[in-house]
């Protein structure tokens, strides 16, 4: 039997009517002759609520218990989806991660797949079951505990199942009808793309475009999974949505193909740290051990003389997600107390956002950075930190200018026009 993976995100299973709507799409594929693996998210808002409860109970929580709590939302929707399909006379059964079992690493809250044995699900298909409904976002550690894959992880569950079961396609049903040049909720001029290259999607996702989890794009690229993003609220056919594919299969040739943003960033600066070999390791080692995801790093050259300091000193600035500031501060204070590092002050700026432009065309075109900085300057937006890589440029700016910056860059690179 040909097999499809269909993933439904939170808004697509937000209540019983929406689950029925999603189930009807699954039934249509079964009627076309497919076996289907359905991956479900928690009902929209549910995971946020669960995370909130954990943080309120224990601000520096034990990640094993965080996973025990936040994985539960998907268990509910998996069971409800199987029941809804059964009510439509479609033979269906649900699986939680541990039942498959979806084996992962023990990196709680950010686990990675190790393997997905097919035997259990294959046997049920052989017995006449048409749809396996699997709870997204969760897995099982070698220690036998429940893990989760990081926010948005059900996308990655879907791609991993598509690879493991050699699915004909992996369809990600969501609340927009495809991947756009930027978040259509931020810019009315955002344009839907028929196709996007894996590399570009990977950058957009890792820079904040949450339409696909970064890891899902990585896996699809590695295992050559045919990945598609489409709407669960519209009638769809084989031509709907956006296909994520190899660069060679794309006709468009724009230098910049998308703008991404990440709203909840923080900037931290260690003021007057000693400038000596090993200082960066002494700062970023403890941050990594504390589980802080450091993103941008700037070391300022400092030739000024500081009172009370002999020898060279510098300021070290880094960015991280705003909800990791408390962890970062604790790690730095402990490192200072142990004598591993010395600094005068730790300055926190928790009102920043990151805005990025992405495009594989940047490999062969100069001048993108200048155009980006001019567009921001024209709107009076001050840039606090800049980083670049081969196919992206990111800036850290005050959060209040984030939407304005996204729109300004979308205009500056004329993304509303196909190219």
> Which of 4, 23, 25, 41 forms a contact with ligand ASP (CB under 6 A)?
41
C-beta of 271: minimal distance to ligand ADP in Å? 35
> Do residues 169 and 88 make contact, with C-beta atoms less than 8 angstroms apart?
no
Q: Which of 84, 103, 154, 182 binds ligand ASP (CB under 6 A)?
A: 154
Residue 66's binding partner, choosing from ligand ADP, Mg ion, ligand ASP, none, with beta-carbon cut-off 5 to 8 A by kind?
Answer: none
Interface residues for ligand ADP in 19-58 (CB under 6 A)?
Answer: 41
State which of residues 12, 47, 187, 324 lies at the interface with ligand ASP (CB under 6 A): 47
- Please report how close the Cβ of residue 394 comes to ligand ADP at its closest, in angstroms: 15
Q: What residue 241 binds from ligand ADP, Mg ion, ligand ASP, none (CB within 5 to 8 A, per partner kind)?
A: none
Can you say whether the dihedral through the CA atoms of 411, 415, 418, 419 is positive or negative? positive
**Half-sphere exposure of residue 134: CA atoms within 13 angstroms, side-chain side:** 32
Instruction: Pick between residue 154 and residue 317 the one whose CB is nearest to ligand ASP.
Output: 154
Identify which range of 27-35, 170-178, 280-288, 394-402 contacts ligand ADP by CB under 6 A.
170-178
By three-state DSSP, how is residue 310 classified? coil
Give the helix/strand (H/E) hosting 36: strand 35-40
Site residue total, ligand ADP (CB under 6 A):
20
CB proximity list for 321: less than 8 A, separation 6 or greater: 264, 265, 266, 293
Q: Is 10 in the site for ligand ADP (CB under 6 A)?
A: yes
Specify burial of residue 285 (Cβ count, 10 A radius: 0-12, 13-18, 19+). Answer: middle
Length of the chain: 419
As separate numbers, helices (DSSP H) first and strands (DSSP E) second, the chain gives 12, 18
DSSP code string of 145-206: -EEE-STTTHHHHHHHHHHHTT-SEEEEEESSSS-BSS-TTT-TT--B-SEEEHHHHHHHHH
Nearer to ligand ASP, 174 or 272 (CB): 174
Q: Which residue has the tokens 């660069």?
A: 247
Q: Is 152 in the site for Mg ion (CB under 5 A)?
A: yes
Nearest alpha-carbon partner for 109 in 170, 159, 47? 47
- The only residue of 13, 30, 42, 409 in contact with ligand ASP, by rule CB under 6 A: 42
* Residue with smaller CB distance to Mg ion, 9 or 359: 9
Task: Point out which residues bind ligand ADP (CB under 6 A).
Answer: 9-12, 41, 152, 174-176, 179-180, 182-185, 204, 209-211, 258
Task: Point out which residues bind Mg ion (CB under 5 A).
Answer: 9, 152
Task: Point out which residues bind ligand ASP (CB under 6 A).
Answer: 9-10, 41-42, 47, 73, 136-137, 151-155
């Amino acid at each position: 039997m040909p097999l499809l993976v269909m993933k439904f995100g939170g808004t697509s299973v937000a209540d019983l009517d929406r689950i029925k709507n999603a189930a009807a799409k699954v039934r249509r594929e079964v009627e076309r002759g497919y076996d289907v693996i359905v991956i479900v998210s928690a009902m929209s808002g549910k995971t946020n609520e669960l995370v909130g409860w954990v943080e309120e109970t224990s601000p520096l929580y034990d990640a094993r218990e965080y996973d025990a709590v936040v994985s539960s939302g998907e268990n509910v929707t998996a069971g409800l989806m199987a029941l809804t399909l059964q009510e439509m006379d479609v033979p269906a059964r649900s699986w939680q991660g541990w039942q498959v079992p979806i084996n992962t690493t023990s990196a709680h809250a950010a686990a990675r797949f190790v393997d997905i044995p097919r035997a259990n699900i294959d046997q049920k298909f052989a017995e006449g079951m048409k749809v396996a409904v699997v709870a997204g976002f969760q897995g099982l550690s070698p220690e036998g505990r429940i893990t989760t894959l990081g926010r948005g992880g059900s996308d990655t569950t879907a791609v991993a199942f598509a690879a493991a079961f050699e699915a004909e396609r992996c369809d990600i049903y969501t609340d927009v009808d495809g991947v756009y040049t930027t978040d259509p909720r931020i810019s009315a001029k955002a344009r839907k793309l028929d196709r996007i290259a894996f590399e570009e999607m990977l950058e957009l996702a890792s820079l904040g475009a949450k339409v696909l989890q970064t890891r899902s794009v990585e896996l699809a690229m590695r295992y050559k999974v045919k990945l598609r993003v489409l709407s669960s609220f519209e009638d769809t056919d084989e031509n709907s949505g956006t296909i994520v594919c190899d660069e060679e299969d794309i006709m468009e040739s724009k230098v910049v193909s998308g703008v991404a943003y990440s709203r909840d960033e923080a900037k931290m600066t260690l003021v007057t740290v000693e400038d000596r070999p090993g200082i960066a390791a002494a700062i970023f080692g403890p941050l990594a051990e504390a589980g802080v995801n450091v993103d941008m790093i700037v070391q300022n050259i400092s030739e000024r003389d500081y009172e009370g300091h002999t020898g060279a000193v510098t300021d070290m600035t880094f960015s991280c997600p705003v909800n990791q500031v408390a962890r970062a501060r604790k790690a730095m204070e402990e490192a200072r107390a142990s004598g591993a590092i010395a600094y005068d002050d730790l300055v926190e700026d928790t009102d920043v956002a990151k805005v990025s432009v992405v495009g594989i065309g940047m490999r062969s075109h100069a001048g993108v950075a200048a155009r980006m900085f001019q567009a921001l300057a024209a709107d009076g937006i001050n840039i606090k930190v800049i980083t670049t890589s081969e196919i992206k440029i990111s800036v850290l700016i005050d959060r209040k200018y984030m939407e304005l910056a996204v729109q300004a860059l979308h205009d500056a690179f004329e993304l509303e026009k196909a190219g």
